[in-house]
Structure 1
Amino acid sequence: MRVEIWSDIACPWCYVGKARFEKALSAFPHRDRVEVVHRSFELDPGRARDDIQPVITMLTRKYGMSEAQAEAGEDHLGAQAAAEGLPYRTRGRDHGSTFDMHRLLHFARERGRQEQLLDLLYRANFAEERSVFNDDDRLVELAAAAGLDADAAREVLSDPDAYAAEVRADEREAAQLGANGVPFFVLDRTYGVSGAQPAEVFTRALTQAWGERPPLRPIDGGSVPSADGDQVCGPDGCAVPGH
């Protein structure tokens, strides 16, 4: 079963939702047969690379909040993150374009290190003092910490076209699926879960999606091979035709 997760590194509910989903997945009996793929979604896709501002300032300008309301919202998010065991700085964080980070995540996916890099990007953005925005050196450091080649990561960041099409394709697909916010979870292209739902909601979704997977269909008029038939390998070895 495949679970696709559309998210943005600047999205605090994506940070919390990932932890809640992973809690449900860790207890799922078939977790070893679940493939998780992270897909790109920018909350602010038109933002210039050098347009960086404090989170509180961004919230007051974009949503018309008072500073007190913005700070209260950050405090609430900090409490939600803490409940999941996640560090979260409620003051002093920056907000900016995440496009380069998404490009780097596609590069990491090709090399089997997407999950590791995403975790490091989330932690760097929400828990650490040094900003991750418009800082190639910082992103290269995180890529190397995730097990990627630092020089190759820098090459990706220096080429604005590298993996740009992949990011945009993910975002178009999200729109086609009806996702207008993140996190957005899609299970086997059959079920969708929107938002950082409690772990028990993800548990129900995983269970239902797994239980409703279509049965294996034989082709060419044959039957599904069994462990005691020809051309099959089972726990006791491989069958030898005619023996």
Structure 2
Amino acid sequence: MRVEIWSDIACPWCYVGKARFDKALAAFPHRDRIEVVHRSFELDPARPKGDPVLVLPMLAKKYGMSEAQAAEAERNLGPAAEGLPYLTEGRDHGSTFDMHRLLHLAKARGRQDELLAVLYRANFAETETVFGDDERLVALAVEAGLSEAEAREVLADEQRYAAEVRADERAATELGASGVPFFVLDRRYGVSGAQPADVFTQALTQAWESHVPASGLATPAGAEGGEACGPDGCEVPKG
């Protein structure tokens, strides 16, 4: 069975969602027969390469709040609750298009999950930028087990894997995804947002046990309303 996950490296709820899904998958009895494919989704596709901005001033300007309020909103997001390293200050934000192209190279080489984990850590837990810095991206690709030469070739040619990135993004639109993370199980069930691990367990079980083709995507019971990031920003838990 195939599970496709649309996400963006700049999305904190995608970072959380991957950790929660991985936890559910590790305990799933049929995990060895589950193929996980990471699909591309850019939250800020219009941002040019090489134009990173600091996260807190960006959020303050976007939502008309102070930087202190933006920092508090960042602290209320979910990574820390999952035990994930997460810097609420000092991070930047920029174009993720090149990272998505590298993820397609990684898919072709069987190292996609490894590269995504490295990119999330680099973006959310380290102050050194991952945006617009080819040398940094090459080093991260090598850390994930990719060839340095191949990574450099992809970054040097803006058309390499560009069509694959755009195809993923069109597919997300066709499947009704307005934000990420977005999980599609066997092209029959859709789960939106960074759901708790037990919800992913239920979704995996339901998809595995169901053999009747469905028209469109169904939402497994209990899988509604997970936190997500969309073009207008990332949800912050209330209460």
Alignment partner of 1:154 is 2:145: no
When the two chains are superposed, the root-mean-square deviation of aligned CA atoms in Å is 1.2
Query: What whole-Å deviation, never above 9, does each CA across 1:142-176 have from its counterpart, x for those lacking one?
Result: 01111111011011001111100000000000000
Give TM-score, length-normalised by structure 2.
0.87
Matches within 5 A, 1:1-243: 1-77=1-77, 80-214=78-212
Give 3-state SS (helix, strand or coil) of 2:106's partner.
Answer: helix
**Aligned equivalents of 1:24, 1:95: Cα separation in 2:** 29
Computing the radius of gyration over CA atoms, which structure comes out larger, 1 or 2? 1
- What is the one-letter code of the residue matched to 2:83? G
Aligned-partner Cα distance in 2 for 1:64–1:13: 22
Q: Find the aligned partners of 2:17 and 2:198 in 1 and give their Cα distance.
A: 12
Shift of 1:72: 1.0
The CA deviation at 1:109 is 0.5
Matches of 2:51 and 2:115, distance apart in 1 = 23
Question: Equivalents in 1 of 2:38, 2:192: separation in Å?
Answer: 15
Cα contact 2:9–2:123 (8 A) shared by 1: yes
Deviation of 1:9 after TM superposition, in Å, equals: 0.2
Q: Give, as a single letter, the amino acid of the residue that structure 1 aligns with 2:95.
A: S
Opposite residue 178 of structure 1, the aligned amino acid is G
Any conservation in 1 of the 2:141–2:147 contact (CA below 8 Å)? yes
Aligned residue in 2 for 1:231: none
Distance of 2:145 and 2:52 partners within structure 1: 28
One-letter code aligned to 1:211: E
Of all paired residues, the percent bearing the same amino acid is: 73
Q: Which moved more, 1:64-73 or 1:136-145?
A: 64-73
Q: What's the TM-score once normalised by structure 1's chain length? A: 0.85
Once the two structures are overlaid, the 10-residue window that deviates more, 61-70 or 1-10, is 61-70
Q: CA deviation at 1:214?
A: 4.5
Alpha carbons 2:50, 2:133 under 8 Å: kept: no
Per the TM alignment, residue 50 of structure 1 is displaced from its structure 2 partner at its CA by 2.0
Give the CA deviation at 1:58.
Answer: 1.5
One-letter amino acid of the counterpart of residue 8, structure 1? D
Distance 1:75 1:133 in 2: 22
State the Cα distance separating 1:26 from its structure 2 match.
Answer: 0.8
1:229 equivalent in structure 2: none
Task: State the AA in 2 paired with 1:17.
Answer: G
Q: Distance in 1 between matches of 2:84 and 2:75?
A: 14
What is the Cα deviation at residue 25 of structure 1? Answer: 0.7
Cα deviation for residue 65 of structure 1 reads: 3.3
Unaligned stretches of 5+ residues in structure 2: 214-239
